[in-house]
Amino acid sequence: MKEHPLQFLEVPRADPEKTPVAARIRDFREIYGQYQQHEAEQQAARCIDCGVPFCEWKCPVHNYIPAWLDLIREGNLFEAAELSHQTNSLPEVCGRICPQDRLCEGACTLNDGLGAVSIGNIEKYITDEALRQGWRPDMSGIVDTGKKVAIVGAGPAGLGAADILVRNGVKPVVYDRYPLIGGLLTFGIPPFKLEKQVVETRRSIMVEMGVEFKLNTEVGRDIGFDELLQRYDAVFLGTGAYTAVTGDLPGSNLPGVYQALPYLIGNINRELVLPDALEHFIDMRGKHVVVLGGGDTAMDCNRTAIRQNAASVTCTYRRDEDSMNGSKRDYRASRDEGCEFLFNRQPLAILGKGDEIEGVELVRTRLGAPDARGRPLTENVAGTEEIIRADAVIIAFGFRPSPAPWLADYGIELLPDGRVDVSKDPATPFRTSNPKVFAGGDMVRGADLVVTAVFEGREAARGILATLGIN
């Protein structure tokens, strides 16, 4: 029983200190600070233990949120860390980048005017502080089964799968073409949202747990997929979604038009001082930048261009502000840092003369009838065309899966949109049409949240364990 059951009335929601705008746009460091112990305990005590944990239901991995909030309130940090890791393989990452406003915190009973419990910041605090104080996952009771599973892709799905496997005595060997783990956690999400040392720390922990990483190794080039099938008891595919949705805009092939992911990767590589980083770096210094799109990737591009000292950054979105389905926190940060937003605007063409971009032609839109998912379609309003100035354009319309061409050679079937089909065996989660191969994350679901990729990797690992006769 709580000592102060009305804590939520006596103590307002208080997030950790945030770096002021004028300072934070000068570098790429994370902008949010960390709770001190008493602050975390005080904020955790705002939870009213409402009996029906809507926060837990709304969380894709179904974190035991009220339980670990109680542990923090009581000062039991290490117990909270253990409990947090029972459901989430990357809690310190999800605490930083999940859109809590439309997941756990959005479902919080106190979100109706009193201020939701600051679940995301407490989740981040739990792992960060526990690791700092020396906590590590308890692997003392793990019995080696002698089984080995190859994991292709060291992104959130692959890491989630590796975590479940190694905790059940199966040796995961993770292959990735990049020199660092994390996939888009490392190379796509800017450091002002997720500093890369956080991911490297997770790598060290997973190595201590028994996970083996083989980096700078591309399956299908440096090692054949047939070799993985021969050497391992099962294979998990988690290669993500890297193919850009281009929109087929006239003028999109002009010099000065960039896809979002190469732009973000180029900047991150430069920040990490990786070999050949400058060769692929795209600098927006002094340019009038237009970002097309209204999702989280567009917000990342906005804020990156601002930190590169662009002359101006304008973001266009074909729906209204309320229809944005990304993180409201990242949208507010973009706006606060100086990005101008043009809502209800559909791009028609990118305009240029010779090798120079001159602008983007837009038309105003209105919301019309709902589509099959119930989301209103947009309609162009005739006679409302306009041209806005642009020296550079970044297209951030989203991503599709990037299935390897060799999948068909091994009987791994795809859906018409390029996603891997895991529906053939409903009794075994995330099993492909090749009975020895499982898949999860964006290459199965389509581009989505990090936390859903973690969930699918973990669930696929449970399917692998069942197939191997473990648990």
**pLDDT tens readout for residues 75-128:** 999 999 999 999 999 999 999 999 999 999 999 999 988 899 999 999 999 999
Residues 414 and 386 in one domain: no
377 burial level (CB within 10 Å; 0-12, 13-18, 19+): exposed
- Domain boundary pick from 132, 167, 185: 132
What pLDDT score was predicted for residue 8?
65
What integer pLDDT is reported at residue 175 of this predicted model?
A: 98
Amino acid at 426: P
Contact 152, 235 (CB under 8 A): yes
- Nearest partner of 363 among 377, 344, 340, judged by Cα: 344
d(CA 95, CA 76): 19
Q: Same domain for 126 and 267?
A: no
* 392 & 406 share domain: no
Q: Kindly state whether residue 264 falls inside one of the protein's structural domains.
A: yes
Let me know if residue 142 belongs to a domain: no
Q: Are strands 376-380 and 356-370 parallel, antiparallel or unpaired?
A: antiparallel
| Interatomic CA distance for residues 436 and 454, integer angstroms | 21
pTM recorded for the entire structure: 0.95
Three-class secondary structure of residue 234 per DSSP: strand
pLDDT of residue 3: 56
Torsion of CA 144, 145, 150, 151, to 10 degrees: -70
Six token digits for residue 276: 């050949």
User: 27 and 84, same structural domain?
Assistant: yes
Residue 462 domain flag: yes
Do 262 and 374 fall within a single domain?
A: yes
**Where a domain ends, among 378, 398, 418?**
398
Same domain, 376 and 460: no
| Within-domain flag for 355 | yes
Which domain range does residue 56 map to?
A: 7-132
Q: Is residue 364 part of a domain?
A: yes
CATH of the domain at 394: 3.50.50.60
Residue 310 one-letter amino acid: A
Which residue ranges of the chain lie beneath pLDDT 70? 1-6, 8-9
- 202 plus 65 within the same structural domain: no
Residue ranges of alpha helices (H) inside 215-323 are: 225-231, 260-271, 277-280, 296-307
CATH number at residue 24: 1.10.1060.10
Per DSSP, 344 falls in state S
d(CA 87, CA 77): 16
Q: What is the pLDDT of residues 182-235, one digit of tens each?
A: 999 999 999 999 999 999 999 999 999 999 999 999 999 999 999 999 999 999
DSSP sequence for 67-124: HHHHHHHTT-HHHHHHHHHHH-S-HHHHHHHS-GGGTHHHH-GGGTTT----HHHHHH
The side-by-side arrangement of strands in the sheet containing 288-292 is 257-259, 392-395, 288-292, 312-317, 340-343
Which residues on adjacent β-strands are paired with residue 291? 315, 394
In-domain check, residue 192: yes
Predicted pLDDT of residue 353: 87
Tally the domains of the chain: 3
| pLDDT at residue number 432 | 97
Could you say which of 99, 132, 165 is where a domain stops? Answer: 132
Q: What is the residue-wise DSSP string for 20-34?
A: -HHHHTTS-S-SB--
CA distances from 228 to 116, 173, 233, 410, 425 (A): 47, 10, 9, 12, 22
Residue 137 lies in a domain: no
397 Rama sector, left if φ>0, alpha if ψ -120 to 50, beta otherwise:
alpha
Residue 56, CA atoms < 13 Å, CB-side half-sphere? 15
Please provide the DSSP assignment of 391-442 as one string: SEEEE---EE----TTGGGGT--B-TTSPBP--S-TTSTTB-SSTTEEE-TH
